[in-house]
Amino acid sequence: MTAPRAFHPLARLLHWTMAVLVLTMLFIGVGMVSTVSSKHQWLLAIHKPLGITILLLVVLRIMVRLRFQPPALPADMPALMKFAAHASHWLLYALMLAMPLIGWAMLSAGGYPVMLSSSWRLPAILPASPVLFAWLREAHQYLAYLFFLTILGHMGAALYHALIRRDDVYPSMTTGFPAPVEIAEKPLEHIEPPAPEVLPPSDNAG
C-alpha cells in the first residue's frame, strides 16, 4: 500500500474549516473568562454551540482520516522531526475530541443546564459534583493552553515545510498539486489513492 501525494480534498476542507473554528474557539474561551463586559455573555453563547460543532466535525474528520490514507512524510526528514510531526498530530486529534467533551462534562458536573441556545439543551453527561467540576474546569483551561501552543508549533512547522524545506508537505494540505505534474492527471475526487509514482512507499502515515 502506498500513500497519495496530497490529502484528500475532503480532509483538506475539514482541516482548514476546523483550523478557523478551533482558533476562534480558543480565542473566545480565553477572552470570555477574562472580561466582565457584555462580551462575556455573547462569547459564552457562541462558545457552547461552536464546541459541539467542533466535536461533530472532528468525529467526521477521524472517519475521513481512516477512510482516505494521508500522504507520507518526506523520506529525507530527520527521525526526530518525523516523531514530532506524528506526536503533535496525535495530540491535536486528541485535543479536538477531548476539549468539547470536557467542556460538556464540566458544565454537567457544575450542575449547569447545558444550553446550546435559549431553548436547546443537551443532557448532562456527568452527575453534579463540585470536585469533578473543579478538576474538569482546570483541565479545560490548561489543555486549551496546550492546544494553542501545539497549534503554534504546527503552524510554525507548516511554514518551515513551505518556506525552508520547500517539500511536498505544505501543498499536500493546500493546493493538493493541481498543476500538471509529471504523473498522469487523476481527479482528486477519486476514492482510490492516486498513482504513487513520485513518492517512495509509505513507512507510516501516522
201 forms part of the interface with other proteins (CB under 8 A) = no
Q: Name which position in 13, 39, 87, 142 contacts other proteins (CB under 8 A).
A: 39
156 forms part of the interface with other proteins (CB under 8 A) = yes
204 forms part of the interface with other proteins (CB under 8 A) = no
**Stretch touching other proteins by CB under 8 A, among 47-55, 78-86, 130-138, 188-196:** 130-138
148 forms part of the interface with other proteins (CB under 8 A) = yes
36 forms part of the interface with other proteins (CB under 8 A) = yes
Q: Name which position in 19, 21, 30, 84 contacts other proteins (CB under 8 A).
A: 30
**Stretch touching other proteins by CB under 8 A, among 10-18, 37-45, 84-92, 93-101:** 37-45
- Strand-pair partners of 114: 122
46 forms part of the interface with other proteins (CB under 8 A) = no
* Contact partners, residue 185, CB within 8 Å, separation at least 6: none
Q: What is the C-alpha separation between 114 and 122, in angstroms, rounded? A: 5
Q: Name which position in 13, 130, 185, 190 contacts other proteins (CB under 8 A).
A: 130
38 forms part of the interface with other proteins (CB under 8 A) = yes
191 forms part of the interface with other proteins (CB under 8 A) = no
Residue list 9-28, contact with other proteins (CB under 8 A):
26-27
Closest-CA residue to 122 (of 45, 48, 55): 48
Give per-residue burial for 69-88: e unless 16+ CB within 10 Å, then b: bbbbbbeebeeeebeebeeb
